[in-house]
Amino acid sequence: MSTKPTTTELDWTDLDQRAVDTARILAADAVQKVGNGHPGTAMSLAPVAYTLFQKVMRHDPADPEWVGRDRFVLSAGHSSLTLYTQLYLAGFGLELDDLKAFRTWGSKTPGHPEYGHTAGVETTTGPLGQGIANAVGMAMAARYERGLFDPEAAQGASPFDHMIYAIAGDGCLQEGISHEASALAGHQKLGNLVLLWDDNHISIEGDTETAVSEDTLKRYEAYGWHVQRVAQQANGDLDPKALFEALQAAKAETERPSFIAARSIIAWPAPHAQGTEASHGSALGNDEVAATKRVLGFDPEQTFEVSDAVIGHTRKALDRGREAKAAWEKEFSAWRTANPQRAAEFDRINANELPAGWEDKLPVFETGKGIATRAASGKVLEALGAVIPELWGGSADLAGSNNTTIDKNSSFLPVGNPLPEADPYGRTIHFGIREHAMAAAMNGIALHGHTRIYGGTFLVFSDYMRNAVRLSALMHVPVTYVWTHDSIGLGEDGPTHQPVEHVASLRAIPGLNVVRPADANETAIAWREILRRHTKVFGKGAPHGLALTRQGVPTYDRNEDAAKGGYVLFEAEGGDAQVVLIGTGSEVQLAVAAREALQAEGVPARVVSMPSVEWFEEQSQEYKDSVLPPSVKARVAVEAGIGLTWHRYTGDAGRIVSLEHFGASADGAVLYREFGLTAEAVTAAARESLAAAAR
Q: Confirm if 648 and 624 have CB atoms less than 8 A apart.
A: no
Give me the torsion for CA of 293, 294, 295, 298, rounded to 10°.
Answer: 50
DSSP 467-522: HHHHHHHHHT---EEEEE--SGGG-TT-TTT--SSHHHHHHTSTT-EEE--SSHHH
Q: Confirm if 166 and 131 have CB atoms less than 8 A apart.
A: yes
Q: Confirm if 393 and 380 have CB atoms less than 8 A apart.
A: no
Q: How far apart are CA 172 and CA 287, in angstroms?
A: 31
Per DSSP, helices labelled H in 393-500 are 399-402, 435-448, 462-475
H or E segment to which residue 16 belongs:
helix 14-34
Residue 170 CA, chain-centre distance (Å), reads 22
Q: What is the strand order of the sheet 655-657 is part of?
A: 567-570, 605-609, 579-583, 635-638, 655-657
* Of 381, 343, 334, the residue nearest 526 (C-alpha): 381
Strand, helix or coil for residue 530: helix
Q: How far apart are CA 275 and CA 256, in angstroms?
A: 33
Q: Exactly one of 180, 288, 435, 587 is catalytic; which is it?
A: 435
List CB contacts of 251: < 8 A, sequence separation 6 or more: 1, 2, 3, 5, 56, 163, 194
* Of 508, 498, 460, the residue nearest 481 (C-alpha): 460
List CB contacts of 612: < 8 A, sequence separation 6 or more: 513, 514, 515, 516, 526, 565, 566
Q: How far apart are CA 587 and CA 25, in angstroms?
A: 61
Active site residue 587: no
Peptide bond into 495 cis (omega under 30): no
Q: Confirm if 666 and 617 have CB atoms less than 8 A apart.
A: no
Q: Confirm if 440 and 411 have CB atoms less than 8 A apart.
A: no
Q: How far apart are CA 547 and CA 585, in angstroms?
A: 8
Q: How far apart are CA 96 and CA 117, in angstroms?
A: 17
List CB contacts of 279: < 8 A, sequence separation 6 or more: 39, 40, 43, 202, 266, 267, 270, 273
User: Catalytic positions, please?
Assistant: 435
